[in-house]
Structure 1
Amino acid sequence: MKTINISCPIDQPLTDGPVVLALGFFDGVHIGHQRLIAEARSEADQKGLPLMVLTFDRHPKEVYAGVKNFAYLNSPDEKVYEMEKIGVDYLVIMQFTKQFSQLAPQDFVDRIIMKLQADTVVAGFDYTYGSKDVANMTNLPKFAKGRFAIKVLPKQIFEGQKIGSTEIREAIKKGDLTLATELLGHPYTTSGKVVHGFRNGHKLGYPTANLSMDWPKVLPKIGVYATMTRVKDRWYESMTSVGYNVMFNDEKQIYIESNLFDFDQDIYGETITIAWYKYLRNELKFASLDGLVAQLKQDRINAEAYFDQTVE
């Protein structure tokens, strides 16, 4: 797969000829997105054309609605990885600027879709390219003027639940990792570098890798989770806390701390990935350190029991 970062206007062709073009922001690259891209992949194969996906470097709401601290399901690198896995030939990442957000619908078609040499455009029923009252999929044929074919995918449903990035974000925030996994098609993951903490876990016999994220991603609700943590190319069963360290009177900053089972390596500065599987309990404040240690022991037992039952 070739990843191309561009801005508007597009000055020269990105490919040697026409493409099948899939449109969307694709945060999470969830099973609804996967179905859409599979449809575009099938269309591209039938026509003997490459498959191109057009997405943006940041969520449009950050620009046109002024939303600050938007929480994503994917970092840019994670999105690239997921797109490559599902057979995309060209991933085009457009800078979403204020100027770009003000393109008229006809200009978006003429200056973006046509410049990308779309033979066929594939998008979801709710895709917009401006004001949703005008720049919607119902009106796209009017702006296309017969220059490319259009395929529209209907609303995607999974067991009565809409498959959407918003729904997945809400599930993660509620700690419903089972639903999030079903809608994503894989466990939700969080990546970042291991940084020095206060070594409280180490003193208690449960050393943790403290995660610092370099991209604003959705966090599961406060609590302790059964997780898998990847160090380099190996996954380890683990339990991970999302919380304020209330036992040690630090209630201002949220920490992500992963205790890897049967692991004893110095990984400060390493990039690790945490895959979130199951919510185990809320964050608690204990009367004594002995009470905390006893709970940590039980948390590990509960996490290991979960993996024994569900993960081969």
Structure 2
Amino acid sequence: MKIIPLSYPIDLHSSPMYVGKQVVAIGDFDGVHLGHQEVIGRAIQTAKRLDLPASVMTFHPHPRSVMGQHKYEHLLTPIHRKMEILASLGVNHVYIVTFDDSLMHLSPQQFVDDVLELLGVESIVCGFDFTFGYQGCGNPDTLCELSHGKFSVEVVRPYIMHGEKVSSTSIREALQQGDIDEVSKLLGRCYSISGKVVDGHKRGRTIGFPTANIEPHELYVVPKNGVYAIKAHVNGKYYKGVMNIGVKPTFETGELKTTFEAHLFDFSDDIYGETVRVELVSFLRPERKFASIEELVEQIKQDAETSKDRLSTIL
């Protein structure tokens, strides 16, 4: 898969890029959830039928964060993870369009003329709720009108599950409630967080449960504080484990910072400085403060056993 960064105004000679007949799925696609996969899959099907490349056009940073909705600085799939998922779906090209003030103020007509037509698209595939142009005043109907027959537009209906449409908003809400089962269903996979293993206080070793203190590479939507059954990708291998997301109230006072501490079963390698990707498989319990270290240790033992049982039935 070829990744092509774009910024407005587009200079076709500034960097190597694909320009020509192609089918483009367009949208922000934060989460690349089942609804997004439906749009992208439809573009891939159409591209195969027309014997053309299948492309995705996405935007970075998240358009809503640029428009002042700061919670969207935290993403379900930061850009590197999004690229990994898109590659796994079989996309040929991905255009990462810088969403800035100049792009934000384009009219729908300017976006069609100066971006889509410039790339030579043959067909656009978008979701039913796709908007574009200044203040989101363009929609799929607008896109059809402005195409003037130069490219076709295919609009994908909402992906419905449990009587509700699958959306990035519903996934964010489920994460904040600790409803990991729902998150996995809506994504079509486990929610994951990647980061580098950094030095911590090493308290886990002193109480018999060494942990990897993971510092996320990018700004993720942080799930509800608590303990989770996990799968961790370390140096090309899977390991099962348990992870605490939270502020460690038993130990910490003063300013509290969210930490991600994973204990991996049957694992003793030194992985400081390594990148680890953790998949959240199941929510075990909320984080809480313990009256003593002994009480904490006993609870961690229970968490580890619960995690092993939960993972054995799910995986």
**TM-score > 0.5 by shorter chain:** yes
The question of 1:238 aligning with 2:235 is answered no
The question of 1:274 aligning with 2:291 is answered no
Deviations 1:55-90 (A, max 9, x none): 112100121235266210112111111111111111
**Post-superposition offset of 1:155:** 1.4
SS class of match (2:86) = helix
Q: Distance in 1 between matches of 2:71 and 2:176?
A: 18
**Post-superposition offset of 1:131:** 4.7
Q: Distance in 1 between matches of 2:46 and 2:180?
A: 33
Deviations 1:275-294 (A, max 9, x none): 00111111122222111111
Equivalent of residue 255 in structure 1, options 255, 259, 264: 259
AA of the residue aligned to 2:66:
V
What pairs up with 1:88-107 in 2 under 5 angstroms? 88-107=91-110
Deviations 1:7-49 (A, max 9, x none): 1122228325211111001111111111111111111111111
SS class of match (2:141) = coil
Query: Which residue does 1:124 correspond to in 2?
Result: 127
Q: Distance in 1 between matches of 2:133 and 2:68?
A: 12
Query: Which residue does 2:4 correspond to in 1?
Result: 4
Equivalent of residue 30 in structure 2, options 27, 34, 42: 27
Equivalent of residue 169 in structure 1, options 163, 169, 172: 172
Segment drifting more, 158-167 vs 236-245: 158-167
What pairs up with 1:204-243 in 2 under 5 angstroms? 204-243=207-246
SS class of match (2:244) = strand
Q: Distance in 2 between matches of 1:68 and 1:290?
A: 38
SS class of match (2:109) = helix
**Post-superposition offset of 1:172:** 1.0
AA of the residue aligned to 1:181:
S
The question of 1:286 aligning with 2:297 is answered no
SS class of match (1:216) = coil
5+ long unaligned stretches in structure 2:
none
Q: Is the 8 A contact 2:242 2:303 kept in 1?
A: yes
Identity percentage over the alignment? 38
Segment drifting more, 292-301 vs 57-66: 57-66
What pairs up with 1:30-109 in 2 under 5 angstroms? 30-67=33-70, 70-109=73-112
Structure 1 stretches of 4+ with a deviation exceeding 4 A read none
Q: Is the 8 A contact 2:233 2:277 kept in 1?
A: yes
Q: Distance in 2 between matches of 1:133 and 1:302?
A: 47
Q: Distance in 2 between matches of 1:7 and 1:132?
A: 19
Q: Is the 8 A contact 2:19 2:119 kept in 1?
A: no
**Post-superposition offset of 1:130:** 2.3
